[in-house]
Structure 1
Amino acid sequence: MTRTEFISRLRQGLVGLPMSVAAEIVSDYETHFEDGVAAGRSEAEVAAALGDPARLARELRAEAGAQRWHQEKNPSAAAAAVFAVLGLGAIDILILLPILMGVIGALFGIGIAVIAVFITGGGIMVGGPFLDVPGGAGASILAGLGLMAGATSAGALLAVVTIGLVNAIVWFARLHYRLLKPALEPQANTVATGDVA
């Protein structure tokens, strides 16, 4: 594969990343080709050492998603990290996908329930004094506050569990994939030390 073909396929795989990030990645790999050719290697040898550009792009997208998650810690960054890892398309991800979707569905359901309990608590707190409830107005206000406090606590716990799940997915991806470690660098260092010796 020539340098032009490699860079073209890499660019296609990086579509969707911010343009500045994609341009920086492409520039890095252009440099790898320049260094490899300067060391006497052919473009085909450099391309073979770097690996499949489509897979490399998927790995780089996963790493970019993981970095965004570690910097921003918001739902958008979490979704980007999860989908980037799923985009790697590995067999183990496909096996874990049904389990992961079940867990995400359960977390979503619990989140909806937390919101419903909070709203119900607010309704009881506001409407209770105007209704004839056992224990009187004070009991309904306290019951409403208790429900709202419980829902808030459950929501905080749900947020911690969700952050932990996203961190676990990112950890899994980093454990199973070689990210941002081009194969050319170790060989270039070996060639350089071999020339000195």
Structure 2
Amino acid sequence: MTRADFLARLKRGLVGLPTSTAADILNDYEAHFDDGKAAGRSEAEVADALGDPDRLARELKAEAGVKRWTQEQTPSAAAGAVFAVLGLGAIDIIILLPILMGVIGTLFGCFVAVIALFGSGLGVMVAGPFAGFPGGGLAAFFIGLGLMACAVTVGALLSIATILLVNGLIWFARLHYRLLKPALEPHAVNSTSGDPA
């Protein structure tokens, strides 16, 4: 593989990353080719030593997604990290994805229930005093306030559970990938065994 082919495939694989991040990565890999040329190695040897550019791009995107998640724990960062890690192919998607989708569906349903509970508490608190609520207006106000407080508490606990789920999934995928990496990259063994000792 030539330098141009390697860099073109790597650039295609990095689509979706911020432009400056992708440019920095491409500059680093161009420097690898420059260093290899200075050392008397051919472009094909350097490309072979660097590995598959498509897989390399997936790894770099996964690391960028995980880094973004550690910096800003938002739903979009969580989704980006999960899909980037799944893109590595390090997790057995056939087994894990249905389980993950079930858990995500359950969490989403719980969040909808929390919103409904908060809305009903607000409704009881506002409309209860005017609707002849049993116990009077003050009881309606406090019952509504209690329902809203319960919804906020459950919502906070669900948020913590979601963060723990995303962190656990990323941890598992990275661990699983590190264990599989030697088996997935036989060219690394071949290139080191071919070097004279």
Superposition TM-score, scaled by structure 1 size: 0.86
Superposed displacement of residue 85, structure 1: 1.3
Bigger CA drift: 120-129 or 76-85?
76-85
Aligned partners of 1:172, 1:39: CA distance in 2, in Å?
39
Alignment-derived partner of residue 115 in structure 1: 115
Superposed displacement of residue 123, structure 1: 0.3
* 1:38-187 equivalence runs, <5 A: 38-90=38-90, 92-177=92-177
Gap change, CA 1:19 and 1:170, over 3 Å in 2: same
Q: What amino acid is aligned across from residue 9 of structure 1 in structure 2? A: R
Which deviations, in whole Å up to 9, do the C-alpha atoms of 1:116-155 show, x marking residues without a partner?
A: 0000000001111112222222221111011000000001
Mapped contact 1:118–1:147 kept (Cα < 8 A): yes
Q: Which stretches of structure 1, 4 residues or more, deviate above 4 A after TM superposition?
A: none
Q: What amino acid is aligned across from residue 57 of structure 2 in structure 1? A: A
Aligned partners of 2:37, 2:172: CA distance in 1, in Å?
35
Bigger CA drift: 11-20 or 80-89?
80-89
Mapped contact 1:62–1:84 kept (Cα < 8 A): yes
Superposed displacement of residue 5, structure 1: 0.7
Q: What amino acid is aligned across from residue 145 of structure 1 in structure 2? A: L
Aligned partners of 1:146, 1:125: CA distance in 2, in Å?
9
Mapped contact 1:10–1:54 kept (Cα < 8 A): yes
Superposition TM-score, scaled by structure 2 size: 0.86
Superposed displacement of residue 44, structure 1: 1.3
Superposition RMSD on alpha carbons, in Å?
Answer: 2.1
Secondary structure of the structure 2 residue equivalent to 1:177: helix
Identity of matched residues, %? 68
Bigger CA drift: 116-125 or 74-83?
74-83
Secondary structure of the structure 2 residue equivalent to 1:158: helix
User: Of the two structures, which has the highest relative contact order with CA contacts closer than 8 Å and spacing of 6 or more?
Assistant: 1
Aligned partners of 1:104, 1:69: CA distance in 2, in Å?
17
Which deviations, in whole Å up to 9, do the C-alpha atoms of 1:20-40 show, x marking residues without a partner?
A: 010011111111112222223
Superposed displacement of residue 91, structure 1: 5.3
Q: What amino acid is aligned across from residue 120 of structure 2 in structure 1? A: T
Give the unaligned 5+ runs of structure 1: none
Mapped contact 1:59–1:177 kept (Cα < 8 A): no
Aligned partners of 1:94, 1:61: CA distance in 2, in Å?
22
Mapped contact 1:2–1:43 kept (Cα < 8 A): yes
